[in-house]
Structure 1
Amino acid sequence: MTLLAHGLGGATDLPIPLTYALIGAAWALTFSFALLLFAWREPRLDPDSPGRPLPAVLRAAVDSRWTRALLGVLSVAATALVAAVALYGSGDPARNPVPGVLYVYLWVGVAVLSLLAGPVWKVLSPARALHRALCALLRRPPQRGFLTYPERLGIRPAVLGLFSLVWLELAAPDPGAVAAVATWLGLYLLITLAGIVVFGTVWAERADPLEVYSALVGRLSPVGRRAGTGELVLRAPLANLAGTPVLPGSVAVAAVLLGSTAFDSFSQFPVWRRQLVDSGQPTLLKTAALLGFVLIVAVLFWGAARATGGVSRAERRLLPGMLAHSLTPIVAGYIVAHYLTFLVEKGQATAILFADPYDRGWNLLGLADRDVAYLLSNHPAVLGTIKVLAVVTGHVLGVAAAHDRSLRVLPKAHRATGQLALMLIMVGFTFTGLYLLFDA
């Protein structure tokens, strides 16, 4: 199994020429923006709207402490299994499922599950489960720590964790090595558990890269919680998105997620691969390029968000953070477009490897007799259409989220002109993203 071959496809996968797809996407985004300017004149997205309650039986099952306890036990057991396979399983990544656990199930699977059901990692996290068990033994509330988390840090610690993960996947000398993946997973668990013990559960909410990632994408889920009561409800995803907390590091998190996905597509270009061979320092070059993509996204968005008149210097400084949530639909769109084949097909291959995790000829649950079903790769036109729709939908939703927030934070005289720079940047992201996805 070549784990990091994401099955991106190419321009031949599209049912129409790539040029038409690019032009159509740009027009769709432009018309959406024009329509919003004329038809959406007052803020409409309310994260505190009551929503529609989920059935009482489902709410009770989801919020039951027994459900949480069971999921915690399963999470810790799965973590122990992965650790055992990493230590005693095959050292060949083609025969060991541990790299797939990180790159397929955690990196992509958690995001897709969060998109459907909300911030699931908060429930599935083994670090949180171990901490809850420890607090139960000590009869100590899990929210409390020994130190107060510095509010000025925001979610910046999670930026470092996310960048370390994308660096391992995209720039490390041997990203599929079982030892490298196991080391990242081990350090992640130790640091997260230690942070929760020291600072309480706020560390998980602000510094755990997987939980911050899950919570960010989960804001686009139709599942939310009613303000005050915490009751599970169905609500318009953009309304949930509007409730994204404005914290230091918000732009950096979005830039890491978006920039790394763009770099992953760019790394498939033959000219880049030749440059790596000729450089003699491929790891250094890939690290610099990855960081460059992240910085480009951050700087472009930061500049566009501030490009408005009628605000004070202090207000202008706050605008990028206030508008950072509008990048979440774009990130989600690229996750679906870029990693969907990877999740569906490499996810099956990873599950099959668990049939014989110690390379001893086992056939647990009969999985070893199964073959990967290439459900998407065998239908390239359908896959290409899904990718374009995911990217365009993400950008249109991003424009809508930015527009609604702009109506709240920009002076009335600058509500239209203050969004133009951001609109142009999003069109540029659309062009660049589709080009990288299909022309690599």
Structure 2
Amino acid sequence: MASESRRRRRRRRRSRAVGAVLAVAWVLVAGVGRVAAHSGSLRGATRDPIAVPTWLFLLTGGGVVGVSFLLASFVTDRRLVAAVHDWRRPLPTPGRALHALAGAAGIVVLTVTVAVGVVEDATGVRNLAVLVVWVAWWGGFVASTYLVGNTWPALGPFWTVAERLPSLDRRYPDRLGAWPSVAGLLLLVWVEVTAPLADDARLLVAVLVAYTVVTLLGAVVFGTDRWFGSVDPLSRAFRLYGRLAPLGIEDGRLHLRLPGGVLPETTLDERGDVAFVVTLLFVTTYDGFVATGPWAAGVRAVVGAGVPPVVAYLGAYLVGAALFYLAYRTAARLGRRRAETYLSVTEIARRFVPSLLPIAAGYHLAHNLGSVLVLGPTLAAVAVSPLSPPPSPPQLAGLPAWFGGLELAFVLLGHLLAVWVAHATAYDLFPSRLQAVRSQYGVTAAMICYTMLSLWIVAEPYVAPPFIAS
């Protein structure tokens, strides 16, 4: 009887999960007509093909990650590994006045962005709202969370406002865990990729207002700590990225530490945490993949066979996210088998998944830095003289020849740091040195695959995604 009851509960959970996936898919399809990747407006002039054969380039990148794993395997002194990651230097902690000032600044920026997006007639990258969101925030601020430190709790206008609103403190369903944040991240990036937000400032403002309303309502119903801790995808992404940064708050104090120093001791406990980190890695990859030649040829062939463009994009999106997650779970299963440990696959997956954060950060930096460098002068010009015609973005396009190599370096550096974090995690998790080394086989194999895919996308010349909405 007990066994039958457990089976019924499992069937009900699977039914709810399938229903949730179908509901999200319906919202995604219903909310988007034609596909319009914003990369067409922001990145078209920032990607050039590499001069060496692609197969040689990819094998070299994958080989670098593999060799770095071998080199890290020779570092078997636990005291040395611990000393590297335990290094800290306390710094003066910002006072409440500075925190309040940062919160007020965030509210002002959001208000001005919404107002300008509504009243300004300029379109595309000539509109201050578009530049603030895609250049200053998505390209610059997001990078600051993993390069410097996570300042979103102080600067985030949603958090600042929500803390001052009354709360109903309704009980959050524990069975949901972090899964709503996974769905929220998929939804946000889907809208970012497929809607013409970089061309239509009013549509961008509508998305900002909708996100603000949903976020504030959720914080009022469930409380700020629970909402921003488990549900809000932006807060969760920035908090995870912040653990990669050299600056962080520990025990109420600001500390300087080595980049990624706290990742080996990071244990993710929420249901869906592993899926969230893997999805964070996937969505940036998808954003770049849809601007490649092979994708353009493939989606044209699929649409030519009678499949609607939005279905082709959405199908690749959901299948890709599932494959990324399946690949990582398979890697965790391989690591458990090779290590011959009593730990479950879920426990292995939770402990090693923070090592994927440097990969996501490295690819995000490579993917967006070009937009910041190309459009940064335009943003400065529009912000200083909002009434004057801004310089034409094409006149600012054309990055130095060495920039392509810098993008590739960011990708490789992220993967190399990921290998080291996985190595340190293994030595923190397993008492045996042989177990520690063998437990990394699966995640290292996954990293090599992720590396080669990321390098291929960065190296591909830019191709405007087909079926762009006018």
TM-score, structure 2 normalization? 0.79
Task: Report the Cα distance in structure 2 between the residues aligned to 1:248 and 1:47, rounded to whole angstroms.
Answer: 30
Alignment CA distance shift 1:31-1:330 (3 Å): same
Once the two structures are superposed, what CA deviation does each residue of 1:47-102 show, in whole Å capped at 9, x if it has no partner?
A: 99461122x4xx3xx2x111111112221122111221232222733543333333
| Partner in structure 1 of residue 341 of structure 2 | 311
Once the two structures are superposed, what CA deviation does each residue of 1:309-360 show, in whole Å capped at 9, x if it has no partner?
A: 2234x62222212211010000011011111101222343344445676xxx
Task: Report the Cα distance in structure 2 between the residues aligned to 1:410 and 1:123, rounded to whole angstroms.
Answer: 37
Given residue 117 of structure 1, which amino acid in structure 2 is its aligned partner?
A: V
Q: Does 1:189 align with 2:212?
A: yes
| Partner in structure 2 of residue 30 of structure 1 | 66
Given residue 241 of structure 2, which amino acid in structure 1 is its aligned partner?
A: V
Contact 1:118–1:223 under 8 Å retained in 2: yes
Task: Report the Cα distance in structure 2 between the residues aligned to 1:238 and 1:72, rounded to whole angstroms.
Answer: 27
| Partner in structure 2 of residue 141 of structure 1 | none
Residue from 323, 329, 332 that aligns with 2:358: 329
Deviation at 1:46, TM superposition (A): 7.5
Task: Report the Cα distance in structure 2 between the residues aligned to 1:320 and 1:7, rounded to whole angstroms.
Answer: 39
Deviation at 1:271, TM superposition (A): 4.2
SS class of match (2:123)? coil
SS class of match (2:415)? helix
Residue from 66, 73, 76 that aligns with 2:104: 73
Given residue 35 of structure 1, which amino acid in structure 2 is its aligned partner?
A: L
Contact 2:265–2:425 under 8 Å retained in 1: no
Q: Does 1:432 align with 2:453?
A: yes
Given residue 296 of structure 2, which amino acid in structure 1 is its aligned partner?
A: R
Task: Report the Cα distance in structure 2 between the residues aligned to 1:252 and 1:266, rounded to whole angstroms.
Answer: 20
Residue from 75, 79, 89 that aligns with 1:52: 89
Task: Report the Cα distance in structure 2 between the residues aligned to 1:245 and 1:145, rounded to whole angstroms.
Answer: 30
SS class of match (2:124)? coil
Given residue 342 of structure 1, which amino acid in structure 2 is its aligned partner?
A: S
Task: Report the Cα distance in structure 2 between the residues aligned to 1:40 and 1:376, rounded to whole angstroms.
Answer: 48
Residue from 322, 328, 339 that aligns with 1:301: 328
Residue from 339, 358, 377 that aligns with 2:368: 339
Q: Does 1:257 align with 2:286?
A: no
Deviation at 1:293, TM superposition (A): 2.2
Deviation at 1:395, TM superposition (A): 0.8
Residue from 402, 406, 413 that aligns with 2:422: 402
Task: Report the Cα distance in structure 1 between the residues aligned to 2:395 and 2:122, rounded to whole angstroms.
Answer: 26
| Partner in structure 2 of residue 113 of structure 1 | 144
Contact 1:376–1:383 under 8 Å retained in 2: no
Alignment CA distance shift 1:53-1:409 (3 Å): closer
| Partner in structure 2 of residue 39 of structure 1 | 75
Task: Report the Cα distance in structure 2 between the residues aligned to 1:129 and 1:158, rounded to whole angstroms.
Answer: 20
Task: Report the Cα distance in structure 2 between the residues aligned to 1:211 and 1:66, rounded to whole angstroms.
Answer: 22
Given residue 167 of structure 1, which amino acid in structure 2 is its aligned partner?
A: W
Alignment CA distance shift 1:350-1:245 (3 Å): farther
Residue ranges of structure 2 left out of the alignment (5+ in a row): 1-37, 462-470
SS class of match (1:237)? coil
| Partner in structure 1 of residue 409 of structure 2 | 389
| Partner in structure 2 of residue 418 of structure 1 | 439
| Partner in structure 1 of residue 293 of structure 2 | 270
Once the two structures are superposed, what CA deviation does each residue of 1:183-206 show, in whole Å capped at 9, x if it has no partner?
A: 221121112222222222321232
SS class of match (1:119)? coil
Contact 1:345–1:372 under 8 Å retained in 2: yes
Task: Report the Cα distance in structure 2 between the residues aligned to 1:277 and 1:66, rounded to whole angstroms.
Answer: 55
| Partner in structure 1 of residue 6 of structure 2 | none
Deviation at 1:303, TM superposition (A): 1.0
Alignment CA distance shift 1:195-1:341 (3 Å): same
Residue from 194, 202, 212 that aligns with 2:236: 212
Deviation at 1:104, TM superposition (A): 2.8
- The list of structure 1 runs, each at least 4 consecutive aligned residues, that deviate by more than 6 angstroms after superposition, is 373-376
Deviation at 1:145, TM superposition (A): 5.6
Residue from 39, 47, 53 that aligns with 1:9: 47
SS class of match (1:146)? coil
Task: Report the Cα distance in structure 2 between the residues aligned to 1:87 and 1:174, rounded to whole angstroms.
Answer: 13
Task: Report the Cα distance in structure 2 between the residues aligned to 1:8 and 1:391, rounded to whole angstroms.
Answer: 16
SS class of match (1:239)? coil
Task: Report the Cα distance in structure 2 between the residues aligned to 1:178 and 1:168, rounded to whole angstroms.
Answer: 14
Deviation at 1:277, TM superposition (A): 4.5
Given residue 189 of structure 1, which amino acid in structure 2 is its aligned partner?
A: T
| Partner in structure 2 of residue 100 of structure 1 | 131
Identity %: 27
Deviation at 1:403, TM superposition (A): 1.7
Q: Does 1:222 align with 2:246?
A: yes
| Partner in structure 2 of residue 157 of structure 1 | 180
Deviation at 1:291, TM superposition (A): 2.0
Given residue 217 of structure 1, which amino acid in structure 2 is its aligned partner?
A: Y
| Partner in structure 1 of residue 266 of structure 2 | 244
Alignment CA distance shift 1:271-1:333 (3 Å): closer
Alignment CA distance shift 1:211-1:98 (3 Å): same
RMSD: 2.9
Contact 2:134–2:198 under 8 Å retained in 1: no
Alignment CA distance shift 1:356-1:157 (3 Å): farther
Contact 2:100–2:154 under 8 Å retained in 1: no
Given residue 197 of structure 1, which amino acid in structure 2 is its aligned partner?
A: V
